[in-house]
Structure 1
């Protein structure tokens, strides 16, 4: 009975949110309804991810979840790039990275730690994740330092070259982690019981849930400008925190569900893996696409606030995950850093 009520709530809330959006109801009403819908969509995506992970393994299940979630974000960001809204794009990318590393991973570690005294995942995977996160910081820090001595044309060339290098690094990482060193980086086999659905149905529901996430997130984000205007929030705060949190909350809530089932390997892959995918693939792809859709391409130079936020997030995340084990207090530390950054971004 409980399961049936959930699916009824999922369908009703999703259809109601869509109706409110396309019927152009009051913006505040749209916002509230979309928030309710995203809770149900989050649960559906979590169930689909868990079922896929049962067949493909925790890392692959987490990777698929992160990829589907970021695909929706990539599409939305592409239209922002086409319209030349580069500052909003960079702020939202920054928010997505720090949100995954601090908020999503922090909540996952904290929630999982309340049920299990200590949770562990592959320590070699943790080491490689740390190295890749540092690469992302370097790729943002170096261009920002030297951009003052370069012309606009040289900045564009530098951005394109760095973007290509990052994409190559990410694709080679997939080859390394999923093919040549798959066994070394995978978690030990754990029996998780029966899957909720068959393999084919699990994949179908994962795709369906991702599509629902994309629509619901877009409806919700579309109401933010008017809603946040009432509270006098800055574009930087809205882009880096509100849009990032709401736009990504649905698919990444699956990480918390995984952690609470003692599947920290999948939780880490969703949270950290998604951040790496944004920094090393999504952002560079957007930069390359801007060369084809805009007369003034987007560069890879982020603001000092954005670089500082990403750098701090990577530093604390590396410190906590490098030993391959976590507990509830470490989750709180990540959340505290996220709150500090949120306060600063709100006041800037």
Structure 2
């Protein structure tokens, strides 16, 4: 069994706590948060000895650490852990900028330690089925596609966590926080994004945040096709998170509720998937699956499905949408 710790005991940490509690591959030894009460509450719910300084983990005989802290803290914490011989499973985004992400990758390569990123939607049932079908060539090549993310984030969401809604802390808004998962799925399902051009903006007249709440992009795929993408945090009644792919002989729509295939003769096939309901249902149910894969990769020395290079590609896509302003930017990975 691998010995693990979690750094950062805020809202998202519960996905890691649930997955590590009674895990087949790892035991949760420590949990760390700058706020002692948060660390204590996490410990009482999921286990692990509470600490307030992540540097106290260096001499604890651990194998891996989950980094679940604000975006802007990822590079320093991750590189410190790698320097001390620890494998790292980092929440998305890997970093705020491609330059930081590349520094983290170099550190992982120098130390020989695994650095993974939490893109759990790669293991959603619909994603797995779509990937198998696309790679099989059953419906031909990808011709075009669309990515759509319409969520709602405002007011309390930002006030509860002061680092959110600020470029210095979060690195952006709807793209780097909510839509980065969908951009990653586009990259994963299609065989890779080559470049993209985008625009982003803040549509609401509010002081709740300074970052973008809406963005769009034109995406050029490595396979030669083009896709469009639209994302917003301004749509009150929806948690839409879709990837539609038009192939030569079918249209496939990937969402958490399942995979829909409309064949060229009009025949519709639906592969249903289990979904959550209520608040934060959009997080999905695949965190545990991805965390298990991380530890199996450690055990077997095999590639991890969401390694640090996928993290760089995602951050590079975010950066392109923020800065291209109508000119195509090559995606780094």
TM-score using structure 2 length: 0.30
Structure 1 or 2: larger strand share? 2
TM-score using structure 1 length: 0.29
